[in-house]
Structure 1
Amino acid sequence: MNEFLLIFRRNFTPGEAQPSPEQLQAMMKDWQDWMGSIAAQNKLVSPGNRLDPDGQVVKPGGVITNGPYVEIKEAIGGYIIIRAASINEASEISKGCPILRIGGNVEVRNIIPMEM
């Protein structure tokens, strides 16, 4: 198994209305459920390595493009590291990410371990 960094991005809009406490709670449950399902498969890993320069970006509608090419209007909201057999499997796992439901995307990058 390889390790992959999933970087969560969404469009940055200054002055954007903040979600209500109820909306925040629902969004957090979606994230916890999704990440819990990855952990239940023993595919959730802790961070801390270099990134491969190549990757893929998963967009709403399950579209996967080669990348990572980021527009300036996008902001990184967070990341996790997972285990997967290939970048394609990691991208498939990313299709369940809650950020896709709000117009964001997930960048998938292979991690290259540091050699000591």
Structure 2
Amino acid sequence: MNEFLFLFRGGDMSGSPAEMQQRMEKWFAWARELTEKGHLKRPGQPLEPTGKLVQGKQKVVVDGPFAEAKDLIGGYMVLEAEDLAHAVELSKGCPVFDGGGAVEVRPILKLSR
């Protein structure tokens, strides 16, 4: 099995408290299913919408992140899958799609020590 990082981008986060609760229940159900099938290695966490960006040789620090709302990374998780195609299939159950968001699926490079 290989490890993959799922980065959750965008998605509509508005709505009533009841709608937000329904959305969270879908996320928990999806994570529970991935866990039961042995794919969820680390559940990750949602990310705050604020932060800093450090860039360039001078290591300039500015407020960030600077991205369009649809591209902001809202959270992540680490999964195990047979290969990239399998990881992509697993991502298709993600509730972020209900709000127009996206999942970036990235293989985690294995480094030899």
- Common topology (TM > 0.5): yes
Task: Answer yes or no: is 1:20 the counterpart of 2:16.
Answer: yes
Query: CA shift at 1:4, angstroms?
Result: 0.4
Query: CA shift at 1:47, angstroms?
Result: 7.5
For structure 2, list consecutive stretches of 5 or more residues without a partner in the other structure: 45-66
How many pairs are equivalent?
Answer: 89
Task: Answer yes or no: is 1:91 the counterpart of 2:113.
Answer: no
Report the secondary structure of 2:38's partner residue: coil
| Contact 2:14-2:20 within 8 A present in 1 as well | no
Task: Answer yes or no: is 1:42 the counterpart of 2:38.
Answer: yes
Instruction: Using structure 2 for the length normalisation, give the TM-score.
Output: 0.71
Q: For 1:70-89, list aligned pairs within 5 A.
A: 72-73=67-68, 74-89=71-86
Q: Following the alignment from structure 2 to structure 1, what is the Cα–Cα distance between the partners of residues 17 and 108?
A: 35
Q: Following the alignment from structure 1 to structure 2, what is the Cα–Cα distance between the partners of residues 100 and 81?
A: 18
Instruction: Using structure 1 for the length normalisation, give the TM-score.
Output: 0.69
| Contact 2:81-2:87 within 8 A present in 1 as well | yes
Higher strand share: 1
Q: Following the alignment from structure 2 to structure 1, what is the Cα–Cα distance between the partners of residues 43 and 90?
A: 17
Structure 1: which 4+ aligned runs deviate by more than 4 Å? none
Q: Percent identity?
A: 39
Report the secondary structure of 1:3's partner residue: strand
